[in-house]
Amino acid sequence: MKVLVAIKRVVDPNVKVGVKSDGTGVDIANVKMSMNPFDEIAVEEAVRLNEAGVVTEVIAVSAGVTQAQETLRTALAIGADRAVLIESNEDLQPLAVAKLLKALVDKEQPSLVILGKQAIDDDSNQTGQMLAALAGLPQATFASKITVADGRATVAREVDGGAETLSLVLPAVVTTDLRLNEPRYVTLPNIMKAKKKPLDTVKPSDLGVDVTPRLKTLKVAEPPRRSAGVKVADVNMLVEKLKTEAKVL
């Protein structure tokens, strides 16, 4: 059984970013990059399935610039068996990434595709759902527990009213939530071993996919600064300020 795990190279979650002076986007020059946290959970889950003997091969895939190889090496250090980089300097939007992944799914024929539910840079939460639609596969989103047995994946997920359990016939697409697992610490020996694992590079044209952006960002601006709070003498003054200044009553 083969599992395909999609990962994305994003700005490290501990780094505070700012907007470019011309308002065309976020300034990521000389900023530390790392694996998207939700995708790291996806890699960890795939590796755990491999260690449990349920899965025979874990393939990590990323789409983006050449430097994304570093992110894929991290996935290999966690425990993935091999990696594929779809190299492109275009601004890869969710639909384009879903089409690229669909082409790889057709080529690799995995029994399970695991993705993070969203990337922390654009927060789109679209790629997994688009991939499932394009590939015609069943899907389960926001997974908090995954069990694979007898050609089916049983996925527990949180919903507004509590918890929900879905049973999917494989092959299927699953997106991960934070509660699914706690990714392991990557050790130095595993980092060294990852350098010897295969990492293939392909172009979108090799997969027959047009990744031309279909959306255009008109302007990016930082949120307005919050004004300082004030102390009020009593409840009556609080109510008055909520009415006249905050205008929420």
pLDDT band at 15 (very low <50, low <70, confident <90, very high): confident
The structural domains of the chain, with segments of one domain joined by +, span 2-244
Nearest-angstrom CA–CA distance, 76 and 152: 26
pLDDT of residue 31: 87
pLDDT of residue 192: 93
Note the pLDDT tens digit of each residue in 226-238: 878 888 889 999 9
The Cα diameter of the chain in Å comes to 70
Rounded average pLDDT over 193-215? 92
27 strand-pairing partners: 18
**Backbone angles phi and psi of 19, in degrees to 5:** -90, 145
Note the pLDDT tens digit of each residue in 24-33: 888 888 889 9
Tokens 């990323």 correspond to 62
Rounded average pLDDT over 171-186? 93
- If residue 38 lies in a helix (H) or strand (E), which one and from where to where? helix 37-51
CATH code for residues 2-244: 3.40.50.620
pLDDT of residue 84: 96
In sign, the C-alpha dihedral spanning 102, 98, 130, 165 is: positive
* CB half-sphere exposure, 137, CA atoms < 13 A: 29
Predicted structure pTM score? 0.85
The yes-or-no verdict on residue 204 having pLDDT over 90 is yes
Compare 158 and 142 and report the one with higher pLDDT. 142
pLDDT band at 246 (very low <50, low <70, confident <90, very high): confident
- Tokens describing residue 244: 């006249």
CA distances from 225 to 14, 41, 76, 228 (A): 21, 33, 41, 9
**Beta strand pairing call for 152-159 and 162-169:** antiparallel
The yes-or-no verdict on residue 112 having pLDDT over 90 is yes
pLDDT of residue 58: 96
